[in-house]
Amino acid sequence: MGWIKNRERLFEAAASSIKAIANNKNISSKNGIAQRPPSINQVAISSTPRSSKDIHSWRGESDFQAFWHLYHKQTKEIPLTLPARIVFNELEMSRVEILGSNKYKGSKKNILEYLEIKSINMDDEKSPNFLGLCSNLWLKNVLGFKLSSASKTLVDSFNKKYDLSSLDSIKNNFINNIDNQELFEEISLDFLKKLKLLITNNQSEEDVDDEPIESPGSTNEIEQDSLDDLGENSSSDSSLEDINLEMDDNLQESAQATDGNAIDEEIDALAYPQNDFQNTLKKDYAIFTSDFDEVIDAKDLTTPEEAIRLRNQLDNLIKPHQTTIGKLANRLQRLLLAKQNTSWNYNLEEGMLDTARLHRVIAEPGHPLSYKQETETNFKDTVVTLLIDNSGSMRGRSISLAAICTDIIGSTLERCQIKTEVLGFTTKHWKGGDSKQLWISNGSYSSPGRLNDIRHIIYKSADNSWRRARKYFGAMLREGLLKENIDGEALSWSHKRLIKRNEERKILIVISDGAPVDDSTLSANREDYLDNHLKEIISLIENDSPVELQAIGIGHDVTKYYKNAITINRAEELGEVLLDELTKLFKN
């Protein structure tokens, strides 16, 4: 029981520790799988493990993000192909992990256990992520880190495949410039050349290894652990004890680091010869196949018994916000009524008594009473679509906040006679599913486009009643539903549904926690492939569509994508933020 109680506070302590180590109070945290490398001023922390034996690997995920924000400085981005970019980033992550482990003694065990888990799950040597992880571990091995068995096996295989045992000069340069990011990046480019991921103009085709780096057959592992509990304990991680360690004295003195001019000059003629990834600079968005995609009603995702259980679970989450829902509905109702045009029909036989005409009854007692009725014309017929991110990074607190937001907004608008549609988006599988398998069977050619089977969910159509549909809203809390997210296509789909509506005013509200992520697609295309497509769709809607686009970032600032966006970090601020934003929205 003690461990279970402590788990509930670990998340906050991990977030606090990252800010303290990085000496940056502006870092925002969310519940989810950490990106490698992390985004600027952002970290993602997985839910705390269910067993204390997994605590070191869990802490390692937080530690490497803290060290990245502490030691990595933003520099001019170097144009690289996707495999080269992954290796380049992993070398830099290895550098900051090494520096951090030397300063904080307990973190070395954490990071090595974290990387050991990744090594155990890395079973595809054709993936560029395999090259990245091996490069990270190789550098640590060079600097004397004692790797665990699975990590050591990867390094041995890596050394054998690329004959890295002869790289004494590069090894020494890495060792002697571990604390100099600029020189380290130049040496990393030399390392990429050794792997045949980067060549320059003065290299001939004969210099290129006959065996190209193979195209990815599978993708980076996606952790599917349930991210359902949050928290953390104490103001700093007890394992991060401040200890300065000296580098081994017996490391050889190296020759001077690569002379090179600017890094950009080293890659003037960036090329990727004889390699399946050479076409990854293709910019047009494509879909490899849509044969396995699906649009599904939420009621078909659960059994009737499960739907009731999940609805009860959602109701318990909403209980603290019942007062907010009432206040929000009352304020919106007053606002909307004030914008409605009101007129009266007079001289009717039923309705409200028309007191202004009572004098006729007094003057002529036989004259019948006169009644009147009020008629209303809505100021603008309105429909609102709520599009909910149902991705794996939303597990735990994030999807709970999204579900509460959806229920509050939907029930409020329903009381105000505004039609509401609620949609969700995810994928059917991790790691690509049937689309990915078809691509592999067709030869795994480069730049295939989107490589996963998308799942779009209809929780409530605009014409369906709230009372009838709300029982299925709990489905978004269902274990196993949340997978990967292809935001651009989901936004386009929801926009197409909305634009067909007859209502005069159309509003689309996206509830998400940040960037699109689909490992299969990003492993076989450019690393910004999905990101660019999302930005393109947003730009089209914001600039060329009558639909009004709004966004709510759940624990994550989404203003990078959406012009009109707010962020909700905690349940406590949910009510007031929604109250203010919806009021502003309908005042316009």
Per-residue DSSP letters for 517-557? B-HHHHHHS-TTHHHHHHHHHHHHHHHH-SSEEEEEEESS-
3-state SS assignment for residue 587 = helix
pLDDT value at residue 571 = 62
Q: Put the strands of the sheet holding 352-353 in their side by side order.
A: 341-348, 371-377, 352-353
Block residue for tokens 């100099």: 180
**The model's pTM:** 0.50
Which residues are registered as beta bridge partners of 512? Answer: 553
The segment(s) of the chain belonging to CATH 3.40.50.410 are 300-334+379-587
Report the CATH architecture of 300-334+379-587: 3-Layer(aba) Sandwich (3.40)
pLDDT value at residue 137 = 93
Decide: residue 355, CB within 10 A, 0-12 exposed, 13-18 middle, 19+ buried.
Answer: exposed
3-state secondary structure 10-67: HHHHHHHHHHHHHCCCCCEEEECCCCCCCCCCEEEECCCCCCHHHHHHHHHHHHHHHH
Phi, psi for residue 146 in degrees, rounded to 5: -90, 100
Per-residue pLDDT of the chain (588 residues), as tens digits, is: 344 445 557 777 888 888 889 888 888 887 666 778 888 888 888 777 767 778 888 888 889 999 999 999 988 878 888 788 889 999 999 999 999 998 888 888 999 999 988 888 776 676 677 888 999 999 999 888 989 888 998 888 888 888 777 778 888 889 999 989 999 999 999 898 888 887 554 444 334 333 333 333 333 333 333 333 334 333 333 333 332 333 333 323 333 333 333 333 333 333 333 333 333 333 478 898 888 899 999 888 888 888 899 888 888 887 777 776 677 767 777 776 666 555 677 777 787 877 777 777 777 777 777 778 776 554 568 899 999 988 887 877 778 878 887 887 788 787 777 889 999 999 998 878 888 888 888 888 888 889 999 999 999 999 888 888 888 888 888 888 888 999 999 999 999 999 999 888 899 999 888 788 888 888 888 888 898 999 999 999 998 899 999 998 887 788 888 988 888 877 666 666 777 777 777 766
pLDDT value at residue 566 = 85
Half-sphere CA count of 174, side-chain side, radius 13 A:
25
3-state secondary structure 198-257: CECCCCCHHHCCCCCCCCCCCCCCCCCCCCCCCCECCCCCCCCCECCCCCCCCCCCCCCC
pLDDT value at residue 452 = 92
Exposure string of 271-292, with b = 16+ CB inside 10 Å and e = fewer, is bbeebbbeebeeeebebbbeeb
User: Token pair for residue 7?
Assistant: 């788990």
pLDDT value at residue 80 = 81
